[in-house]
Structure 1
Amino acid sequence: MTVKKKIVISVIIACVFFLILLCNLAYHSNHDLLCYVRPKTRLGDSQRKVLQDIDMDDDSMDLFHPKGMKRRLPQAIIIGVRKCGTRALLAMLKLHPKIQAASDEIHFFDREENYSRGLDWYRRRMPYSFPDQITMEKSPAYFITDEVPSRIYEMDPSVKLVLIVREPTTRVISDYTQIHSHKTDKNKPHSKFEELAIQDGEVSIKFKAVRTSNYAKHFDKWLDVFPKDQIHVVDGDKLILNPVPELQKVEDFLGLDHKITYDNFYFNETRGFYCMKDDLMSKCLSESKGRPHPYIEPWILQKLHEFYRPHNARFEELVGMKFDWPQ
């Protein structure tokens, strides 16, 4: 082989490695949510299990990342609550250059099949980050699962926890709306809201959505394990109306400089809520967010408000916050 051919081959190999490096950097960039949206595919249980069983070896992937970037266990976790804006909150926090977050819900601490795989399996589901960045993940089911607080504490007793809540009755209806929508799409039978939420004229705690909105009951279990100053509560209703102040409180809680500003948002009149933007692109949450809620009879709403009133008062006492919820 001539010297000229050797040089050409060497250049080609170098270019290939350089392109791979650029692709990996782009994929793990803090802006991945804004720059690229992968098509959402529905996987069967068997397919999902195969993907989970793939052993993503850090050592081999380190070659394609800048020196110092590694997969790390999260230093902060959004623990819930379902249908309170966990996805929106995480997407907004990813605008901060010091935050790297897992794109998917890991469900490590609440699912036995995942927890049994061990912390190294969990770590390998995290994004690459630099030592001065904070790694985050969110799995809303953590908040209501009894075993999760102690499991997270065993992983890292100093981990910072973020909880986002919305007005409880609105959350129940939103929860039902999502389930109702999924069953409708699959032509499956489903019950009306009032049939699930009300039984014998009273609010039914048999309905899981009703139990989930009893924030005080679940929060007590977290305070049995973690000190209150290690859990930050985000007002999800305020986050929707005016995101920046709530995000700045989270930045303070995480010990980060304020980098997320009003320049990172614009109000989408068509969607009816704020969308995100950065220097590269703009991004709204998926079409499934902000589904219209079904009509609920006023007397049912009143029943739910009355049911949650003492629980809400207890929750406000526990977290030291006042919410603009029906009294």
Structure 2
Amino acid sequence: MATLIIAPLDTHKLLIMFSFSITCISILYLLLGCCDSSENSQKLSLGWYDNNNNSRSALRGLEGGVDGNSSGREWMALRRLPHALIIGVKKGGTRALLEFLRLHPDIRALGAEPHFFDRHYSRGLGWYRSMMPKALNGQIVMEKTPRYFVTPETPGRIHAMSKNIKLIVVVRNPITRAISDYTQIISKTPDIPSFESLTFKNRSTGQIDALWSPLYIGLYAKHLERWLAYFPLSQIHFVHGERLISDPAGELGRVQDFLGLERIITDKHFYFNKTKGFPCLKKPEGSSKPHCLGKTKGRTHARIDPDVIQKLREFYQPHNLRFYRMAGMDFGWQ
């Protein structure tokens, strides 16, 4: 009777077959995952993540990352160069405007001032992009650096980055702005000369020192002229600094229109803080307390000699009138 002999399996061949099977399964899994990812990317770019054809729902709570509900979408957010800039002016209300705009779910704003176009331009656009918060397609990325408005080189540098960028300038009465600027200076260096002595080249002759920084910044027409050499007026939006205090919702509504956004930030978001003398935010989402700007905002201004104030009114009047004509807007500063 014949005996059936079964040869033992070759261990080496068995290992090869097992490895080959695992590799095939892994490739199939990756292919299926890529297809799903491509489909999701297409949906995002077409705005399919909510019923309003925008990326709002996908981006809520994303500040350099995403919240727990959006963790699966983190890879969709990228660091992008800004679409809009708040370029000035110092002590005009730029910090308040930025904080108010950050309420909008379609705005991604850098909190710190990067000073790229005035101080760090040599670091390159790659460095600048790395400073920006992550954003999805359709999201507006922005930053604010008030010194841009008065630095001669910045208009050309910004134009080289983007010819279509939107620019926001917050302006207020240049005399009030100068006093606020000086008040901040003396809080850091209390031993500097008085506002009155710094205002004049020679007080006996009444000649104003227009190159003293707190006064120079208020020559809005002079600075705007440089910007209009590179950008049309339609790309520049002026925020009325005084109205930003008295009617924040109205000013924010116009800024949202300028940026092409839905008016989501409204009067329901604000209350007036009588102690500080400016509007604060009501309870932000995820917080149980109202939010006001820091202690450095709303300082009591230094008291200035009324005669010096009058001299400054006379000095600024022709500059203000020229600025009104250039901006196409009467700010009503007397």
TM value normalised by structure 2? 0.77
Pair 1:243 & 2:259 matched: no
Partner of 2:30: none
Q: How does 1:223-302 map to 2 (within 5 A)?
A: 223-277=228-282, 278-281=284-287, 282-302=290-310
Secondary structure of 1:283's aligned partner: coil
Task: Tell me which of 162, 172, 176 is aligned to 1:166.
Answer: 172
Pair 1:322 & 2:324 matched: no
Q: How does 1:69-88 map to 2 (within 5 A)?
A: 69-88=77-96
Task: Tell me which of 174, 185, 188 is aligned to 1:179.
Answer: 185
Partner of 2:148: 142
C-alpha contact 1:202 1:303 (8 A) present in aligned 2: no
Partner of 2:222: 217
Counterparts of 2:309 and 2:213, CA distance in 1: 17
Q: CA deviation at 1:151?
A: 0.4
Moved more, 190-199 or 79-88: 190-199
Counterparts of 2:194 and 2:233, CA distance in 1: 38
Q: How many residues align?
A: 266
Counterparts of 1:139 and 1:29, CA distance in 2: 23
C-alpha distance after superposition, 1:98-128 (max 9, x if no partner): 10100100000001xx211110100010011
Output the amino acid matched with 1:263.
Answer: K
Structure 2 residues not aligned, in runs of 5+:
1-60
C-alpha distance after superposition, 1:119-173 (max 9, x if no partner): 0100010011111110000000000001100100000100000001000100111
Structure 1 194/258 Cα, relative in aligned 2: closer, same or farther at 3 Å? same
Counterparts of 1:71 and 1:132, CA distance in 2: 13
Counterparts of 1:141 and 1:273, CA distance in 2: 23
C-alpha contact 1:30 1:94 (8 A) present in aligned 2: no
Q: CA deviation at 1:271?
A: 1.8
Q: CA deviation at 1:30?
A: 9.9
Pair 1:155 & 2:161 matched: yes
C-alpha distance after superposition, 1:28-80 (max 9, x if no partner): 3799xxxxxxxxxxxxxxxxxxxxxxxxxxxxxxx996232111100000000
Counterparts of 2:127 and 2:294, CA distance in 1: 29
Counterparts of 1:268 and 1:138, CA distance in 2: 24
C-alpha contact 2:63 2:134 (8 A) present in aligned 1: no
Output the amino acid matched with 2:135.
Answer: S
Partner of 2:194: 192
C-alpha contact 2:175 2:309 (8 A) present in aligned 1: yes
**Structure number with bigger Rg:** 2
Counterparts of 2:151 and 2:257, CA distance in 1: 27
C-alpha contact 2:66 2:74 (8 A) present in aligned 1: no
Output the amino acid matched with 1:239.
Answer: L
Q: How does 1:107-126 map to 2 (within 5 A)?
A: 107-111=115-119, 114-126=120-132
Structure 1 86/259 Cα, relative in aligned 2: closer, same or farther at 3 Å? same
Secondary structure of 1:66's aligned partner: helix
Moved more, 314-323 or 270-279: 270-279
C-alpha contact 1:30 1:97 (8 A) present in aligned 2: no
Q: Quick one: percent identity of the two aligned structures?
A: 49
Output the amino acid matched with 2:100.
Answer: M
Q: CA deviation at 1:268?
A: 1.6
Q: Which has the higher contact order (CA 8 A, sep 6+)?
A: 1
Q: How does 1:298-317 map to 2 (within 5 A)?
A: 298-317=306-325
Counterparts of 2:94 and 2:181, CA distance in 1: 13
Partner of 1:47: none
Runs of 4+ aligned residues of structure 1 deviating over 3 Å after TM superposition are 25-31
TM value normalised by structure 1? 0.78
Q: CA deviation at 1:267?
A: 1.5
Structure 1 residues not aligned, in runs of 5+:
1-24, 32-62
Secondary structure of 2:169's aligned partner: strand
Partner of 1:97: 105
